[in-house]
Structure 1
Amino acid sequence: MGWILRLCQKDAEWIETRVINRRDKDGNTPLHLAAYENNLQAIKLMLESSKINVNIENKTGLTVLDIAALHNNRETERMVKRQYGGKRSVSLVKIKTTSDLLASKLSWRESRRTKKIRFYSWISEERRNALLVVATLIVTATYQTVLQPPGGVSDGGGQNGGTGTSGTKAGSVVMDEVYFIWLWLWNSAGFYFAIEMMIRLLSLGQESVFWYFPLFVPLLLAYSVAGDVIKPNARAYTIAGVGAIVVLIIWGLVVWFWEWVQSKRTKVRGPKSGLVWEGFTRVDQARGFAPNRYGIR
C-alpha cells in the first residue's frame, strides 16, 4: 500500500485501480480477503486508496459488507458502511454484462462522444499545437479589442459629471451604438469559439473538460465585466451579447447538419471510395495494371 499510494508515473492511477481491485480465482479482492480474516489494520490501509471499490462482488455474490456482517465483524461493518459507502449485494444495482452493453442501442450521447474521439484521434501532435497557437492568438486579439476598443473610451468628462447620457460615463466607448453592437457581436463570437476550441484540443475528446473550467471561467467573467464597463448603454450590450450567442448556435447547427450530410454520404460509398476501401488508389491498380513509370508500352 505504501508503494501504491506513492506512485507518480504517468499511468499511476490506472496501476493503483488495477492492483487494489484485482481478483483471485474466487473473485475476491484483497479487501474481501482482509474482511474474511477480520484484519482491520489491512482494511484501514486499503481504504486509504481513493481508487478502491468497496462494492465489488465475488463469485458467490458477496461484498465486503456482506462478509463483515456474515462474520459479525461490527467494527469493520460500521467503518465500511458509514465512512466509505459500502453496501450489501441485495441493495446494489445489477450491472449489465459486456454483451448486454454492446447489444444495447447506441445513445445520442455515446454516438457524439465516439465521433468526437475518432475525429480528434486523427489530429497529429504538430497540428494540435498549431491549432492551439491559432486559438490563443484569437483569444488574445479579441480580448485586446475589449481593453482598447477602436476610437478609444470616454474619460468621464462629459455631461452630468460623467454619469449622464450614453457614451459620457468614464470608460465607455465613444463609437456609435450600431458600430459597438456589430463589433461586440463578432468579437464575442470569435472569443467564445476560440476558447471552446482550446478546451476541446486540450481534452482531445477523451477526458472530462471540467478540470479546464478554472482556467477559462475567470477569463470569461473578466471579458463580460470589461464589456459591461465599455458599453455605450445597456440595450446595445444586451443586443450584441444575445447576437453573439445566436451566431454560435447557428454555427453549431450548421456543423451538425454538415456532419449529418457527410454521414449519409459515407453510407453510400462511391466507386472511388470503394477502391480506397479495398486498398487501391487508382482504377489501373484495381484492374491489375502496374504503374507505367518508365514510359514502356
Structure 2
Amino acid sequence: MLKHDPSLACVKGRNGLTPFHFLVVSGNADLVAECLNVSPECIEDVCVNGQNALHLAVMNDRLEVLQVLTGGIQRMSQRNAFNIEIRFLNKEDFSYNTALHLAAYKDDLQAVRLLLKCQLVERNTVNGDGLTFLDILRNLENAGDWDLDLEQVVLKTRCKEAASMPKAKAVSEILKSPFTLKTCQSIIAKRMRSNTSEEVRGALLIVFTLIITATYQTALQPPGGEHPSKDPPSSKNDLRIKQAFLLLLCVFNTMCFYCALFNICRLLPRKPHFNAWFMSVETYLGVCYALAVAENSPDPLSFFAMTCAIVQLYLTYIALLELVGRKIYRTVAGTELEKGFIGL
C-alpha cells in the first residue's frame, strides 16, 4: 500500500484511526519507521478522542515504537518541522492529557525517561484534573508506587507543581482588560503587517535594505574622505562649517539608518526563534554603525553619544506617535458612537 500510494497511511477509518495508528498499536516499529519515511504528514493525525500516535504508543506500552516516534519527529527537516514537533510532543487529548501525563499515570519509567529527553516536551502542562506531571508522580509516591530512579530523573528536570505555577488569564479577562501602550503598539504592528501584501512587503524589504546599505557605507566613508579635523583648515570658520555639515550629515544619516532597521523588523514574519536571532543581529549592526560614526568623526565620544541619543529620541517619538494616535482613535470612535446613539 505504501509503495502504491504513501497517502494511504493517513486514511481515517472507524474512530478516526488510520493505518499508521494501527501500526503503532500493534507495535510494528519497522513499518512505523517506513510510514514516517514515505509519508511524514501521518504523524499529525489524531483519532476522535484527540489522541495522536504518541498517546497510543504510551497507552499500549509500545516502547520501541515510542523510540521511533520521538527519534523521527526530532529528525524531521521538512517545512514547519519545528512547530510540528512542538504540536506532536505536547498534543493534548480531550481530557487535556499529554503523552507525558499518561506515562506518569502508568508509572512507566522508561517512557517517562524517553519523553523527558525530548527538549521540546512541556514538563508543566496542567491536565483536565488540574495536575501537572510532577503532581501525578507525587500522588504515586503517596500511594506507595514511587520509584527512586524516577525521582532522580524528575529532580534533573524543570518540573513544577500546579499550585506553584501562575494561572493563565482567560480569554474573556484579556479582552476585558484596559488598553496599555504596549497593547496598542502590538495591535498597530499586527494590523500593519496583515494589511501589507506579500508583494508590497517584499518590495519594502528590498528598499529598506538598500537604505541600510547606503547609510552604513556613508558612516564608514563620509564625503570628503577623512573627517575635518585631519584636513588643514584655511581658517577657523571653514573648520566650523565643515564640522557643522558633518554633524548634520551624521544626524540625518543616522535617522535614515535606524528608521530602515526598525521598519525591517516590523515587516518580517513573527517567528520566535527567528525574531530572537534577527533582533540580536540588528542590535550588533546598530552598535557597529554607532562605532563607525564615532571613528570617522572629529570627536568620537561626542558623536557616539549623539548617535545613541538619536536612537532613544526615535523610540520616544514612535511611542508618543502611537499614544497620540490612540487618543485620536478613541476620540473619533467616541464621536461616531455618540452620533449613532443620537441617530437611534
Establish whether TM, by shorter chain, passes 0.5. Answer: yes
What corresponds to 1:278 in structure 2?
none
Query: Judging changes above 3 Å, is the alpha-carbon distance between structure 1 residues 246 and 117 closer, same or farther for their aligned structure 2 residues?
Result: closer
Instruction: State the aligned residue count.
Output: 255
Q: Which has the higher contact order (CA 8 A, sep 6+)?
A: 1
- 1:15-48: per-residue Cα shift (whole Å, max 9, x none)? 3233222334444321122122222221122123
User: Structure 1 residue 85 and structure 2 residue 152: aligned?
Assistant: no
Q: Which residue of 1 aligns with 2:51?
A: none
**What is the aligned partner in structure 2 of residue 265 from structure 1?**
332
Residue 222 of structure 2 is matched in structure 1 by 149
Asked if the contact 1:181/1:239 (under 8 Å) is kept, the reply is no
Distance 1:235 1:27 in 2: 58
2:122 counterpart residue number:
53
1:194 Cα deviation after fit: 0.9
Q: Does 1:187 align with 2:187?
A: no
Q: Which moved more, 1:188-197 or 1:218-227?
A: 218-227
Question: Is the deviation greater in 136-145 or in 62-71?
Answer: 62-71
Provide the rounded CA distance (Å) in 1 between the counterparts of 2:153 and 2:191.
44
The one-letter code of the counterpart of 1:241 is T
Q: Give 2:284's aligned residue.
A: 218
Does the CA contact (< 8 Å) of 1:68 and 1:74 recur in 2? no
Distance in 2 separating the partners of 1:56 and 1:8? 26
Measured after TM superposition, the shift of residue 199 of structure 1 is 1.4
CA distance in 2, matches of 1:239, 1:58: 53
Distance 2:169 2:162 in 1: 15
2:37 alignment counterpart: none
Deviation at 1:185, TM superposition (A): 0.9
Aligned pairs (5 A) from 1:160-199: 167-168=229-230, 176-199=242-265
Q: CA deviation at 1:226?
A: 1.8
Opposite residue 257 of structure 1, the aligned amino acid is V
Task: Work out the CA distance in 2 between the residues paired with 1:103 and 1:75.
Answer: 47
- Conserved 8 A contact 2:215-2:256: yes
Partner of residue 110, structure 2: 41
Q: 1:120 is matched with which residue? A: 193
Query: 1:60: Cα distance to partner?
Result: 2.9
**1:76 partner letter:** L
SS in 1 for 2:156: helix
Rounded Cα–Cα distance in structure 2 between residues aligned with 1:247 and 1:90? 44
TM-score by length of 2: 0.64
Does the C-alpha gap of structure 1 residues 85 and 145 become closer, same or farther in structure 2, counting only changes over 3 Å?
A: same
* Amino acid paired to 1:150: P
Closer, same or farther: CA 137–23 of 1 in aligned 2, 3 Å = closer
Select 1:66's aligned residue among 127, 132, 135: 135
Distance 1:207 1:167 in 2: 46
State percent identity of aligned pairs: 32
Q: What's 2:212 paired with?
A: 139
Query: What are structure 2's unaligned runs of at least 5 residues?
Result: 1-69, 232-238
Quote the Cα distance in structure 2 between the aligned partners of 1:9 and 1:34.
Answer: 28
Q: TM-score, normalised by structure 1?
A: 0.73
Distance apart, 1:120 and its partner CA: 1.0
Name the stretch that deviates more: 233-242 or 68-77.
233-242
Q: CA deviation at 1:90?
A: 3.1
- The answer to which of 12-21 and 124-133 deviates more is 12-21
- For the pair 1:75 / 2:75, whether they are aligned, the reply is no
Aligned partner letter, 1:78: Q
Does the 8 Å CA contact 1:21/1:29 hold for their aligned counterparts? yes
Q: Residues of 2 paired with 1:113 and 1:250: CA distance?
A: 16
Following superposition, the deviation at residue 132 of structure 1 comes to 1.0
- 1:23 is aligned to 92
2:99 maps to a residue whose letter is P
**What stretches of structure 1 move > 4 A for 4+ residues in a row?**
none
Amino acid of the residue matched to residue 192 of structure 1? Y
- Higher helix proportion, which one? 2
Q: Secondary structure at the match of 1:84?
A: coil
Contact 2:219/2:292, CA 8 A, preserved across alignment: yes
Q: 1:139 to 1:39 in 2, by over 3 A?
A: same
Question: What residue identity is the alignment partner of 2:293?
Answer: G
Superposition CA RMSD, Å: 3.1
Q: CA deviation at 1:89?
A: 2.8
Residue matched to 2:41: none
Partner-residue secondary structure (3-state), 2:137:
helix
